[in-house]
Structure 1
Amino acid sequence: MRFSGFLAVFLVWMFATEARAFDWDIQRIDGRDYVSVAKIAEFYNLPLDVAPSDRQMYLSRGGRSLTARADSRDLDINGVRYVLSFPVLDRNGKFWVSRMDLGKTIEPAFRPENVQGLKPFSLVVLDPGHGGQDKGAASPYEFEKNFALDVARRVRNELQQAGLRVFMTRNNDSFVELQDRAAMANAKQNCIFVSIHFNATDTNPDASGLEIYSITPRGSPSTEYDTLLVRDMVQEYGNANEVQSFALAHTIFHSLRGANLDMADRGVKRARFAVLRLTKMPAVLIEGGFLTNSGDAKRVASTAWRNQYAKAIARGILAYRKLVETDQAPPTMAEYRNGTASVNSAATPPPRPVATPAPAPVNSINLRDLPQ
């Protein structure tokens, strides 16, 4: 990529008055622009006198925290895991983060209320993964397609009760092509897109936890890959809203991590999944635990757990609505856990009654038992 390309990804916020006036001391390392963690600490009012220990640096002050690890793409911000585009570098005991990651991950994670282009919405497009002949992952209890539909219907009911309109890309056991799911969403106005899935692996039965994806920034590798590919240079439809989609993922994931779901934090990640590439509004895809992990699968099979999970997703969506309507920072994981979080805004309409979701058995889900 030409040097101008690196500048372009930073323009979203670099030329804001505050950032423009700050001396970032950008350094070119191995053909890429980097900013020191020390400069990041100075800008965000984190401690400046912290030295790395065991190839890790932890900074915390005033409710903000950051943990960086040398040669790792994992970065913890305010207690939540984020996966960067490029690893943190250690040069003679000084940590460096790519300028791409500063602009596309660290800044919107610390200050989502400063994200430009956030737009109010009145409709949520819920996308239950798989369906029909595409069963998705399998657990000892049920297929992913049925768990996804069950959770999506529970999220729908929560959102409708809070006054939002909801459209579902499928509301029965039908197969819908990925491009058709995106096309359905693109035909709607003033909306966001949330795709609901569950995870699986063929190689590691110990893999577990929750993760959420938004579109990979142009010029960055997706979380799955370590190096840039030719496709990483393509401007997808989803890239027009990549920072807004990240803000949506960030906001929902803090709600998930703030709930008592008893699942590991696998982080806020990036991907070029079809439903993220092809949609023209803020879009995320949530993976709600591993059906190939005995502990995760047992939790997902519990009606009570799925109901709590759905409530946490809906709460995150409502927090995002408050963010776009008020420009106020959404609650963090810690605020959810200590009971100080609020997701209602002055513009929030009064709730309306919605039928309570029908129960589903723990050891099996039949479509007639799903909430309607």
Structure 2
Amino acid sequence: MFKTAGIIFGALIFLAGCATSPDESLPPDWSATGVVSKPNLPPILAAVAPTVKTNLPPVIHSNLPPLISSNPPPATIVKPKPSAPILTWTSLNRWVTENQIGSLHRLTGGPVTSYSISSKNGVLVLGIGSREATWRGLEIHLGFAPEIIDDQVFVHGLDLQKNLEPLILGEPLTFGTNRVIVIDPGHGGMNGGTISVLDKRPEKEFTLDWARRIKRLLETDGWQVFLTRTNDIDVALSNRVTFAEAHCADLFISLHFNSHAPDQKPVGLETFCLTPMGLPSTLTRGYPDMLFQNFPNNNFDAQNLQLAAQLQRALLHATGLEDRGVSHARFIGVLRGQHRPAALIEAGFLSNPREAKRIEDPEFRQKLAAAVVEALK
């Protein structure tokens, strides 16, 4: 009998156990604006064929386990084919022909040599030697500056795959029924965020009020809305990610206001999404920008970009703020672990007296809330 009991006991130990997810070191919460990163770009080799290889290091894949989502997001993009090679520079002239878009049109009169591409989704304009492009009049930040090689326009394959294709060829971002969204009012508790240059009120007050206004409006449109905080408490970045996971959110939007104190000159609105693996970030704020890090949210690179662009366009239209563009950052911990399309909004500068006055006005925050709702229709 003891022998039989020992066997059963051993089997139970074998079957018992639990899986734990690896700890992820997250940076401090979103704070003051730093300097836009200027990566050391790889030298471009002279083209002898339509595609020219770079000397970028080989891709190092993360050992994160495969993502299993019990509630896949309704926002989907049909992946264009053929996809651009990841580690090559590709002839844009050839690409537009292969995808039956038409042809590149050289523009005149600008400070840099620029080209436009027209598609059913809109017009993209990019400049030779510049990481700044425009999509339907909206500023978009590329990872690498386009170049002229053998009288053709060449773009990096990752920019083609992660920035151009989702906008030019991608299906519009749409949302189905039973929609669940998590709105994240930045900061809270002891973490007040930045401070208004006018009356020293903290950012955390304005983000919470903005989030509450969004919640009321979205719920009338049939969304299920959850806020990562509903009062003045400090919520860790990792807990905000876990909160979205627990509520099976289809989308995640984090709300912030910007600052460049003590400099009062910077103005404008910008929307961030996570940097795709292999591309340099638009902004680093002093954090290492490890190009080949792969995070869970990178599974939604195309949707992230489309969501950020829709939010940025709607907010600019509603407020008239200066367009600082759709940007990429890798250090934003509240985005990296998301298993859903996600974006972070910086809706003006509290360090600028004119914009701080607008942000402190409840009517302006109502405009911001209505613009977010409009972007999700």
The TM-score normalised by the length of structure 2 is: 0.71
2:267 counterpart letter in structure 1: S
2:8 paired residue number: none
Cα distance in structure 2, aligned partners of 1:197 and 1:52: 38
Q: Secondary structure at the match of 1:312?
A: helix
Inter-CA distance 201–99: structure 2 relative to 1 (3 Å threshold): same
Contact 2:182–2:249 (8 Å) recurs in 1: no
Give the deviation of 1:299 after TM superposition.
1.6
Instruction: Please state if 1:284 is matched with 2:339.
Output: no
Asked if 2 retains the 8 angstrom alpha-carbon contact of 1:87 and 1:97, the reply is yes
In the alignment, the residues of structure 1 paired with residue 183 and residue 360 of structure 2 have an alpha-carbon distance, to the nearest angstrom, of 21
> Which stretch of structure 1 is more off in the superposition, 201-210 or 222-231?
222-231
Alpha-carbon distance in 2 for matches of 1:13, 1:4:
26
Q: Is the 8 A contact 1:129 1:197 kept in 2?
A: yes
Q: CA deviation at 1:106?
A: 1.2
- Cα deviation, residue 278, structure 1: 1.5
Q: Which residue of 2 aligns with 1:177?
A: 236
SS at 1:127 equivalent: strand
Q: Please tell me whether the aligned partners of residues 211 and 286 of structure 1 are also in contact (alpha carbons under 8 angstroms).
A: yes
Instruction: Supply the AA of the counterpart residue of 1:213.
Output: F
**5+ long unaligned stretches in structure 2:** 1-56, 62-76
Unaligned runs of 5+ in 1: 6-11, 320-372
Q: Quote the Cα distance in structure 2 between the aligned partners of 1:226 and 1:199.
A: 13
State whether structure 2 residue 221 is matched by structure 1 residue 162.
Answer: yes
The Cα shift of 1:66 comes to 2.0
Q: 2:126 aligns with which of 68, 73, 78?
A: 68
Taking the aligned partners of 1:76 and 1:252, their CA distance within structure 2 comes to 15
The alpha carbon displacement at 1:212 in A equals 0.8
Sort the Cα spacing of 1:163 and 1:258 in 2 relative to 1 into closer, same or farther, 3 A. Answer: same
Secondary structure of 2:340's counterpart equals coil
2:93 counterpart residue number: 38
Range 178-187 or range 62-71, more displaced: 62-71
Question: Percent same amino acid at aligned positions?
Answer: 30
Please state how far the C-alpha of 1:113 moved relative to its aligned partner.
1.2
Q: How far did residue 161 of structure 1 move?
A: 0.8
Deviation, structure 1 residue 96: 2.2
Shift of 1:55: 2.1
1:226-237 equivalences under 5 Å are: 231-237=290-296
Q: What letter corresponds to residue 45 of structure 1 in structure 2?
A: I
Contact 1:126 1:168 in 2 (8 A): yes
1:300 CA drift (Å)? 1.1
1:155 and 1:311 in contact (8 A); partners too: yes
Residue aligned with 1:231, SS: coil
Give the aligned CA root-mean-square deviation in angstroms.
3.1
Task: For 2:308, give the aligned amino acid.
Answer: A
Match of 2:366 in 1: 307
* Richer in helix (by share): 1
* TM-score normalised over the length of structure 1: 0.72
| Residue of 167, 184, 209 corresponding to 1:127 | 184
State the distance in 2 between where 1:121 and 1:246 align.
23
1:98 aligns with 2:153: no
In 2, the alpha carbon distance for the partners of 1:44 and 1:76 equals 21
What is the CA distance between 1:144 and its match in structure 2? Answer: 0.8
Q: 1:138 to 1:100 in 2, by over 3 A?
A: same
Shift of 1:188: 1.7
What do the CA deviations read for 1:336-370 (whole angstroms, capped 9, x no partner)? xxxxxxxxxxxxxxxxxxxxxxxxxxxxxxxxxxx
Change (3 A) 1:190 1:196: closer
Question: Structure 1 residue 183: deviation in Å?
Answer: 1.0
Q: Which residue of 1 aligns with 2:334?
A: 275
User: Aligned to 1:87, which of 142, 145, 164?
Assistant: 145
CA deviation string 1:30-87 (max 9, x = no partner): xx51223434554463553526654231426577322212222111011111111112
Q: Which amino acid aligns with 2:236?
A: E
Counterpart CA distance in 2 for 1:219 and 1:118 is 29
SS at match of 1:126: strand
Cα distance in structure 2, aligned partners of 1:91 and 1:52:
19
Task: Pick from 33, 45, 50 the counterpart of residue 106 of structure 2.
Answer: 50
Aligned pair in 2 of structure 1 residues 37, 204: CA closer, same or farther (>3 Å)?
Answer: farther
Hey, what's the Cα distance between the residues in 2 that align with 1:99 and 1:227?
Answer: 27
Query: Which range is displaced more, 218-227 or 159-168?
Result: 218-227
Q: SS at the partner of 2:320? A: coil
Paired residue type of 2:304:
S
- The corresponding residue for 1:349 is none
Q: Is the 8 Å Cα contact of residues 52 and 93 (structure 1) preserved in structure 2?
A: no
Q: Aligned AA for 1:310?
A: A
Q: Do the aligned residues in 1 keep the contact of 2:217 with 2:370 (CA within 8 Å)?
A: yes
C-alpha separation in 2, matches of 1:183 and 1:137: 25
Aligned partner of 1:224 in structure 2 is: 283
Amino acid at match of 1:36: S
Aligned partners of 1:235, 1:48: CA distance in 2, in Å? Answer: 33
> Cα–Cα, structure 1 residues 160 and 230, in superposed 2: closer, same or farther, change >3 Å?
closer
Larger Rg: 2
Q: More deviation in 47-56 or 70-79?
A: 47-56
Change (3 A) 1:136 1:44: farther
167-176 vs 106-115, which moves further: 106-115
Contact 2:124 2:134 in 1 (8 A): yes
